[in-house]
A and B are shown apart, each in its own frame.
Chain A
Amino acid sequence: MIPEHLSRELQKKISASDHPKEFAVEVMYALQSHYGYLSDEALSEGAALLGLEPLELEELATFYDFIYRDPVGKYVIHVCDSVICWMHGHQTLVDYLCEKLGVSLGGTTEDGLFTLLPVCCIGYCDEAPVVLINGKPYGRLTPEKIDAILEQLKEKQPPLVEDR
């Protein structure tokens, strides 16, 4: 169950609107951030808040890249695989990340810390090759830089300052 205050907050927004469904994505984000991913329970709760059938919300949830219907790690690493990153050695980057984390694309590390997912162009082509980790872009990646980023995240240090 989601906490009472979150439920109330979402309910307030939804009931104030002439078009409750317009909050569908916002509700999914909120529930995902509470549960860590959009679990079946979250999907049902979200649908109930919006006055929808779970299936109606499901057809939205499964459409979007940033709604996770399966459990993910604390940090979700989205690796850009579009053309500019491809040109800048995206495959080498993916291979390195897979080896380093001991997972394949789509997998989550055993300690539940990292999930590795592909993503299409995230709009940081001037920084290729890039990944997006929990919404923050990291660019001009090299194996050394990846090591440093992963170490910092593991130690829960403040995020790296990018040398842009």
Chain B
Amino acid sequence: MTAYPQIVLNNRKHGETISMADYGRSGGYEALAKTLQDYSPKEVIKIVLDSGLRGQGGAGFPTGRKWSFLAEDAPFPRYLVSNTDEMEPGTFKDRTLVSINPHAVIEGMVIASYAVSAEKGFFFIRPSYDEVERSFQNALDEARRAGFLGRNILGSRHSFQIVPHRSAGRYICGEAKGLVHALEGERPHPNIEGHLTSEGLWGKPTIINNAETLAYVPAILRNGATWFKSLGKHEGAPGNKIYSVSGRVKRPGVFELPSGTSLREILEEHAGGMQPGFEYKTCLPGGASTRFVPKGLHDVGMDFESLKKIGPGHRFGTGAIMVFDRNTCLVGAALNLIKFFSRESCGYCTPCREGLPYIEDLLQRIEEGEGKEDFIPLLKSMSQWMDKAYCAFAPGAVTPVLGLIEDFAEEVHEHISQKKCPFKKSKCSKP
């Protein structure tokens, strides 16, 4: 297996959290000391911008640019949030990251808070990650005692505190604007106009970054932008990436690899190849709101730019690679995914609230052998209406449906012509 330098999952011991002492021994919190001593907030933003670091929560927005949107004369208090909601199906990288290396996230948050002059931070975590939250809480206590958090951090003029927030569980809370309302104790509809960098939490400037994104920040400050950039497989894919692989592979799990590592290498080398008796059909590259990778594309780089190049609608997402084998029905899979989205829709706007159950019903009927050929254009036109929704949830929700009817149309036709699911011997059970 090809071995690569790791940034955040190095020192990984089976099932153990890296203590502050161990984190410190491998250079932990050096970046924070150096940052507070040597750099102005502006310089920190410049370094992160130059490193090419992008948001790892799915959108891939350049982190340095996001930070730079916060105007120098923006009002106070300013807030910084680590988004550890991670509710995208198939995604469990942040769970592993925080339970193994909580200090990388904490140090990243403190450096980020310095860059944008935030004095209060929130660590927003989903309720199924109770064990992870405990690791984080312990690490937070260690960091506080060591003076890496609190007033006048390491003797500087910068003060910052982190408050963990345990969500009560809804997918939409991971959407930045939904998350703001969730933290405020409002119903988490993502219905905020304008930019969070000027009007976020309680109307004040707010930066929300994914936990993995923040975890790379200390290493970037310690080793430089050029170093980070060079870790990736190609120019358009800077740094490392934590991939979470699940489905019909021998070794499902989490792998920190150079960004842009090929799908083939991830699946065959790192995830151990397919389980015996299973043959690869396709995968979703980055969670439930990405598009099935078309047949034959095994050497595609797993990064934002390479996926975009496959064609319209293709996105990298969270790097949660979900592998489907030849005998798994993709109509059934798409139906399961759309059920997830119609249930998780927050209900705020009509296209999403009404459109997703409609699409679910069409897919359900196709799966149960009651579909008609004219359902296919209907699925397509309904899916296209999702662009009219208020946030990115609904367009994301229909992405696998569009992939199914465009790249795996033969499976849909077979369901319709055979009047049953061809993957099941008898009429199928509920997907």
Give A contacts to B, CB under 8 Å.
18-19, 21-26, 28-29, 50, 59-60, 63-67, 78, 81-84, 86-87, 91, 119-126, 128, 132, 135-137, 164
Contacts and interface: CB of A to CB of B under 8 A. Distances in A.
22 contacts: A19-B202, A22-B185, A24-B185, A25-B185, A29-B168, A50-B185, A60-B185, A64-B169, A66-B168, A78-B128, A83-B89, A84-B246, A84-B247, A87-B248, A91-B431, A120-B89, A123-B129, A125-B91, A125-B244, A126-B253, A126-B254, A132-B128
B288 interface: yes
Given A21-B186, A120-B89, A123-B86, A82 B340 contact: yes
Nearest to A32: B168
B336 A82 contact: yes
B325 to A, nearest CB: 8
Given A24-B185, A63-B187, A87 B333 contact: yes
B92 A83 contact: no
A25 B168 contact: yes
A121 B169 contact: no
B184 interface: yes
B264 interface: no
Interface of B: 15, 86-92, 95, 126-131, 165-171, 182-188, 202, 244-248, 252-254, 288, 320, 322, 324, 328, 332-333, 336-337, 340, 343-344, 346, 429-431
B185 A126 contact: no
Contacts of B337: 83
Contacts of B252: 125-126, 128
Given A64-B168, A84-B247, 20 more contacts: A19-B202, A22-B184, A23-B185, A63-B188, A66-B127, A82-B340, A83-B89, A84-B322, A86-B431, A91-B429, A119-B128, A121-B90, A123-B92, A123-B95, A125-B90, A125-B320, A126-B92, A126-B253, A135-B131, A136-B131
A21 B92 contact: no
A119 B168 CA distance: 12
B184 A120 contact: no
A65 B170 contact: yes
A31 B197 CA distance: 34
B87 to A, nearest CB: 7
A77 B95 CA distance: 20
Contacts of A29: 166, 168
Given A25-B167, A64-B168, A123 B91 contact: yes
A123 B87 contact: yes
A122 B288 contact: no
A66 B333 contact: no
B85 to A, nearest CB: 10
B15 A164 contact: yes
Contacts of A123: 86-87, 91-92, 95, 126, 128-129
B185 A66 contact: no
Nearest to A162: B15
B179 to A, nearest CB: 12
B282 to A, nearest CB: 13
Contacts of A135: 127-128, 130-131
A94 to B, nearest CB: 9
Contacts of A126: 92, 244-246, 252-254
B169 A66 contact: yes
Contacts of A21: 184-186
B419 to A, nearest CB: 21
Residue among B167, B168, B244, B248 facing the most chain A CB atoms (10 A cut-off): B168
A137 B128 contact: yes
Contacts of B288: 82-83, 121
B90 A84 contact: yes
Contacts of B248: 87
Contact of A125 (B89, B187, B332, B343): B89
A51 B186 CA distance: 14
Contact of B185 (A19, A91, A122, A136): A19
A115 B131 CA distance: 22
Contacts of A119: 128, 169
Contacts of B91: 121, 123, 125
A137 B128 CA distance: 8
